[in-house]
Amino acid sequence: MTTLLSHEKQIFEYEKTLSQIKEQEGLWSKDEVEKLEKKLEDLKEEVYSNLKPSQRVAISRHPERPHTLDYFEKICEEFEEIHGDRLFADDHAIVMGFGKIAGKSFFLIGQEKGKDTDSRIYRNFGMPHPEGYRKALRGMNLAAKFGLPIITFLDTPGAYPGLTAEERGQGVAIAKNLWEMAQMPTPIIVVLIGEGCSGGALGIGIGDKIGMLQHSYYSVISPEGCASILWKDSQKSSLACETLKMQAEDLLKMEVIDTIISEPLGGAHHDPEMVYQNVKNFILQSYQELKGTPITDLLENRYQKFRKIGAYITIERNETSTESSDTEQ
């Protein structure tokens, strides 16, 4: 059964009624049915074109939304997974391996959440441990050794925050990935397919081209975490969704990402095949733009790309008002 989001209930009820009408042959004319179908399409357009940021976050977390392994299966003609960080363990929240897309070899890395209770537990809900980031770095070094471009898929609520992760060096593992990816001598293409939360996402998110699915989000913190810190109330997550400016359109304007990858009306789970094709097109187009770039230029452009993210305002000090204030005191 399809999981309904709150904003989709009205559409579902209309679809259910229309289905019942179609079953009553002879009671409704063809023209009447077509008018009702047109109203349904108008309703979908109205609902999905006026989504709030919190509703788009719900779409990014939809359980039927395609995950990393779905993309590996659908966009690759071949894929061979490799495991382990060669230091501690194989983190199942990170999947990676060699793949061929349109006949070209790539190295693919992504965060995998799982689809049902058992697989979500197995994948730790897409929250990597330190060995997951070390595993990813091992894969990237392997790709660079063989001159293969790297593709990373971001979809995580954040790195695992438990005590065991801290004991094994979670912060150091992520920081090392940021440092190493900044100077990795091969093209890196990043695709944000769902949740892109905090350093957990950025730990495999440094790249030359960054594409973001239309209803994904990318943020320094989850909306619930932000609300808990700023307003001491996680129920104000809707306000946090608006305040954080973490939707694709905001991030494109701020040049945090390069491209918004289109989704079907209502989200990727409504037409996964369309999304697979759009992501594949983005990857191939990005590779064509990057493949002829000398490594020195590639690394400098990558450095500058992330160096300029963020903004600040310089306010000139008013000496007169400052002196007056000091005198009055």
Token duo for residue 263:
């989704």
Cβ proximity of 112 and 154 under 8 Å: no
- Measured CA to CA, the distance from residue 267 to residue 269 in angstroms comes to 6
Task: Return the half-sphere exposure (C-beta side, CA atoms, 13 A cut-off) of residue 67.
Answer: 20
Provide the pLDDT for residue 218: 96
Under-50 pLDDT residues of the chain: 322-329
Contacts of 237 (CB under 8 A, 6+ apart): 54, 223, 224, 226, 227
- Residue reference for tokens 């697979």: 276
pLDDT in the model for residue 320: 55
Query: How many Å is the maximal CA-CA distance in the chain?
Result: 90
Q: What local confidence, expressed as pLDDT, does residue 324 receive?
A: 46
Burial group, residue 316, by CB count within 10 angstroms (0-12, 13-18, 19+): exposed
- Nearest residue to 176 via CA among 225, 118, 131, 124: 131
**C-alpha–C-alpha distance, residues 245 and 241, integer Å:** 7
